[in-house]
Structure 1
Amino acid sequence: MPFKSTLMAAMAVASLSTAAFAESVISVDDAYARSSGMNAMAGAAFMMIQNTGDTDDQLIGVKSDIAARVELHTHKIDANGVAQMMQVEEGFAIPAGESHMLKRGGDHVMFMGIKQPFEQGATIPVTLIFEQAGEVVVEVPVDLER
């Protein structure tokens, strides 16, 4: 087999194995989104992200067409005991074989400038962006009662 054909075959196998790896190691469970009301300009999404692989990963970004801006956020308690939300630009570590919970009062996905109200039972497409696994699309159900 000529060198060029062998090289192309090896590259094809490598690209397929990388795609399979990315799809199989990150899973998302118990996702839901909520906003404070029909006229709210902001909302949030919460979920359990699991890394079933043997390589650490990092959630580094998020995107969705539902809002003007979508960011990874957390809560920080200041010296006066007041909680404030802040963007986490570096994202969240998802160690190999472990999980990371995005939850109310903690780390979460923040939607700012919501383009339409969150309606009970609807779903919001959200793309989570990981350093290793790449993009993972999640359909997040809206649950305003949680």
Structure 2
Amino acid sequence: MRRAPLALGALILAAGFTLTACGSDDEPELKVEGAFIPEPASGDMAAGFFVVHNSGGADTLTSVSSPLSKQVTLHSTKGGVMKEQKSFAVPADGALDFERGGNHLMFENVAQKPKEGDKVSVELHFAKAGTVKVAFPVKAATYNPTSHASH
């Protein structure tokens, strides 16, 4: 009768290792929402805004590409000072906001000025999740969503 508890203990132990070895909790689960580009006043630069919601493990936005511009850069704005960034952390079970007055994309030397109603193809490149393709609608120059804050 001693074998049954031992076998049961070994089975529970094995199951525990299987669950921890899986590692699926560390995988980011990204969803991009609220993407838009305000119609630019000038013809050679445009800004982009969006929110990355992450219901999984942490990730990093490493770069952005788009047919609209050969050079798309990442910027932060703090205290009214804009600064180019190499990457942005996407927190585990959190959100990364790119919104007016804060983090944003800069499409530099745009090939053709985007007009309200257009859709711009954008690829967001993440360290773990890979490439996420998003269609950014071009909105009125004054468009500002009420809030992209995570829910």
Instruction: Note the alpha carbon deviations across 1:3-29, whole angstroms, 9 max, x for none.
Output: xxxxxxxxxxxxxxx9xx67xx11111
2:43/2:112 contact within 8 Å kept: no
1-structure distance, mates of 2:115, 2:102: 23
RMSD: 1.7
Aligned to 2:6: none
1:35/1:42 contact within 8 Å kept: no
Instruction: Note the alpha carbon deviations across 1:84-136, whole angstroms, 9 max, x for none.
Output: 422101x1111111111100111111100011111111100000011110100
2:35 equivalent to 1:44: no
Aligned to 2:65: 63
Amino acid at match of 1:28: V
Aligned to 1:129: 125
Structure 2: where are the runs of 5+ without partners? 1-23, 144-151
Summarize the alignment of residues 87-98 of structure 1 with structure 2, pairs less than 5 Å apart. 87-89=84-86, 91-98=87-94
Report deviation, 1:75: 1.8
Aligned to 2:113: 117
TM score, norm. by length of structure 2:
0.71
Structure 1: where are the runs of 5+ without partners? 1-17, 78-82
2-structure distance, mates of 1:120, 1:74: 25
1-structure distance, mates of 2:70, 2:61: 20
